[in-house]
Amino acid sequence: MTAPPAPGHPRAQPDWHAQELLLMREVMRLIGSSLAPGLVLREMLHLMSELLGLNRGRIVLVDDTAAGAPRTASIQHAYGLTQAEVQRGRYAWGEGITGRVLATGQPAIVQDIDAEPLFLARAVERSQLPPETVAFIALPIELHHAPIGVLACHRIRSRQRHLNDDLAVLRVLATLVGQLLQLEALVADQTRQLEARNAVLANALNTKSARYGLIGNSPPLLQALGELERVSQTQATVLLLGESGTGKELFARAVHLASGRRDRPFIKVNCSAIPDALFESELFGYERGAFTGASTARAGWFEQADSGTIFLDEIGELPLALQSKLLRTLQEGTLVRLGGQRELKVNVRLVAATNRDLAHEVEAGNFRQDLYYRLNVIPIRLPSLAERREDVRALALHFVSRANQAHQSNVNLAPDALARLEAQPWPGNIRELGNVIERLVLLAEGTLVTGGELDRFLPGAAAPATVAPPAPAEPPLVRDYTPAHSHSAQALQAALAEHHGNQSRAAQSLGLTLRQFSYRLRKAGLR
Ligand SMILES: Nc1ncnc2c1ncn2[C@@H]1O[C@H](COP(=O)(O)OP(=O)(O)OP(=O)(O)O)[C@@H](O)[C@H]1O
């Protein structure tokens, strides 16, 4: 390659036009063959020096500073500068020539750096430059019409080549640099999204932690799972204990799936959702004519679960009269339908769950002691989410992928968002986490949710948006979570009084389920 002639040198002038074209062609070729802008930019600065005599080229880019901190910029790519010179190349906004180009977005041409008081000579000291008059050219690098950096270089002022020609080439190069950096940012963004997606898939493939659909590898979860697997093959009744939303239903299914009954029915009964008057007929069925309107006989849940598993959720809500009937069925393996005489044989494995302290209910006379003993043969305590914080990430990724599938969306969580989720208290446990993620997938504005954006979806934040989420095609994946302190003791009492002590109606008037209502009563010390 031809070096530009030194001033006063008798050599013939290079063909500048050909040199410019060569520079452009080489830079384009590099862009086409490498996705790494660092390499392309350095080579561009090198060719600027070799072919056009534009020396010590540097690209100064705006630094990533914390919000509110003063903006600065520093040399990110350079040619012909020592490491120490690059290190020194940091500029405050508006400082010196480089800082001014950044602040104004206007190019600067310093004809003689020795005569320009604004020129800082910060990166390269004057003593390191040739003794002739040195010019400095600096152009803004723009992204969406805003300066994001500066392309600058030195040149010996008195050369055959016009400064204006250099300026024209540098303008093209500065535009090119802006576009390359934009492409780099786009690729980095997409890579981040792909990495987040990859984490979801890797999580889904981790079969060990996805046993029976139960996500998590924390010691308390594994302990509960271990206990479950040890008892699953027996016929023993299992009592699942744990706060609301800890996964009792999923565990009950796991007991069923891990047992020899897995191909037989699994019947789930939520005791808190059945009105007292219907309990017996729902659970044990009825004969024709058992009551007005019973025009045909009907098998109850127990019969339907025959040779399979019945899951009685919220067993603490079972009325006392039914408790003795349930005990008989468990002890003798028989039942009598409502209005019937015949004893029917049933072979059902019972899994029961409660978030109440049953021993306390026994003491208070609300629960039969003999039934309690019968149920409490194998109690398994499910940890709260706060006790298994290390599972939050895996659970969050699981819910994200489930909600993405359900709503045909493609939302991912950035690492800082996952870290924030992990630090939350989660009083509503896994159900609450699932609800937050579902809302977030429906209402997120971009496809990558960062820690900052997560805030508005977390409990306690104002409603995330005024738009109603689109109605899901199927029932929502997760039930709604209302914080346990959502109603004052007075509000609970007033609702009870208004409905003459009828808890179901009082609960309904407050928009709560019976279970949520009675839980709040207990919390408020009213029961
Ligand atoms: N380990 C887990 N892995 C994946 N999802 C889970 C896990 N545990 C619970 N879930 C999900 O969390 C939600 C709440 O779980 P579940 O309904 O089983 O809780 P629960 O303890 O029965 O609550 P409640 O006592 O209020 O009925 C469900 O959507 C369930 O699928």
* Tens-digit pLDDT profile for residues 302-312: 999 999 999 99
Q: Would residue 212 count as lying in a domain?
A: no
Same structural domain for residues 150 and 104?
yes
pLDDT recorded at residue 205: 63
Q: Which protein residue's CA is at the shortest distance from atom 30 of ligand 1?
A: 247
Domains: count for the chain: 4
Of 207, 431, 433, 480, best ligand 1 pocket probe by most atoms within 8 Å of the beta carbon: 431
Same structural domain for residues 30 and 152?
yes
The angle, 0 to 180 degrees and rounded to 10, between the axes of the packed helices 429-443 and 392-407 is 40
Cβ-Cβ contacts under 8 Å for 459 (sequence gap 6 or more): 424, 428, 432, 436, 481, 483
Cβ-Cβ contacts under 8 Å for 497 (sequence gap 6 or more): none
- Tens digits of residue pLDDT in 324-381: 999 999 999 999 999 999 999 999 999 999 988 999 999 999 999 999 999 999 999 9
431-450: average pLDDT: 92
Distance 214 CA to ligand 1 centre (A): 9
Look up tokens 């093959």; give the residue: 233
DSSP 364-383: TTSS-HHHHHHHTTEEEEPP
Distance 245 CA to ligand 1 centre (A): 5
Same structural domain for residues 395 and 325?
no
Distance 434 CA to ligand 1 centre (A): 9
Q: Which protein residue's CA is at the shortest distance from atom 23 of ligand 1?
A: 245
Cβ-Cβ contacts under 8 Å for 250 (sequence gap 6 or more): 212, 213, 214
Same structural domain for residues 351 and 397?
no
Q: Would residue 338 count as lying in a domain?
A: yes
* Cβ-contact 123, 86 below 8 angstroms: yes
| Helix (H) and strand (E) counts in the chain | 19, 15
* CATH (domain of 453): 1.10.8.60
Tell me if residue 59 falls in helix, strand or coil: strand
How many angstroms separate the CA atoms of 495 and 506, rounded? 5
Name the band, by pLDDT with cuts 50, 70 and 90, for residue 474.
Answer: very low
* CATH (domain of 70): 3.30.450.40
Same structural domain for residues 149 and 271?
no
Same structural domain for residues 260 and 402?
no
pLDDT recorded at residue 45: 97
Looking at every residue in the chain, the average pLDDT score rounds to 87
> 217's torsion region: left (phi>0), alpha (psi -120 to 50) or beta?
alpha
Distance 210 CA to ligand 1 centre (A): 14
Q: What is the ipTM of this complex?
A: 0.95
Name the band, by pLDDT with cuts 50, 70 and 90, for residue 180.
Answer: very high
- Tens digits of residue pLDDT in 25-64: 999 998 888 767 888 999 999 999 999 999 999 999 999 8
Same structural domain for residues 171 and 29?
yes
Distance 479 CA to ligand 1 centre (A): 10
Same structural domain for residues 150 and 257?
no
* Interstrand relation of 448-449 and 412-413 (parallel, antiparallel or unpaired): parallel
Same structural domain for residues 379 and 416?
no
Predicted confidence (pLDDT) at residue 467 exceeds the cutoff of 80: no
- Tens digits of residue pLDDT in 51-110: 999 999 999 999 988 878 889 999 999 999 999 999 999 999 999 999 999 999 999 999
Same structural domain for residues 159 and 23?
yes
Q: At residue 110, what is the residue type?
A: V
Domain closes at, from 338, 356, 383: 383
Q: What share of residues in the chain are helix, strand, coil (percent, to 5)?
A: 50, 15, 35
Q: Would residue 219 count as lying in a domain?
A: no
C-alpha 17 chain-centroid distance: 54
Same structural domain for residues 274 and 402?
no
* Cβ-contact 120, 95 below 8 angstroms: yes
* Interstrand relation of 344-345 and 266-270 (parallel, antiparallel or unpaired): unpaired
Q: Would residue 121 count as lying in a domain?
A: yes
For residue 518, give its domain range: 489-523
Distance 215 CA to ligand 1 centre (A): 10
* CATH (domain of 350): 3.40.50.300
Q: Would residue 475 count as lying in a domain?
A: no
Q: Would residue 232 count as lying in a domain?
A: no
Of 211, 217, 250, best ligand 1 pocket probe by most atoms within 8 Å of the beta carbon: 250
Out of 187-201, 268-282, 335-349, 435-449, pick the least confident.
187-201
Q: Would residue 22 count as lying in a domain?
A: yes
Please give the number of the atom of ligand 1 that sits closest to the Cα of 430. Answer: 12
* Interstrand relation of 90-92 and 72-78 (parallel, antiparallel or unpaired): antiparallel
Domain closes at, from 383, 418, 446: 383
- Residues having CB within 6 Å of any atom of ligand 1: 213-216, 242, 244-250, 313, 355, 395, 398, 430-431, 434, 478
Same structural domain for residues 286 and 353?
yes
Domain closes at, from 457, 479, 497: 457
Q: Would residue 209 count as lying in a domain?
A: no
How many angstroms separate the CA atoms of 476 and 301, rounded? 25
Cβ-Cβ contacts under 8 Å for 276 (sequence gap 6 or more): 319
* Cβ-contact 393, 254 below 8 angstroms: no
pLDDT recorded at residue 1: 45
- In angstroms, what CA-CA distances link 221 with 214, 254, 391? 9, 13, 9
Q: What is the pTM of this model?
A: 0.57
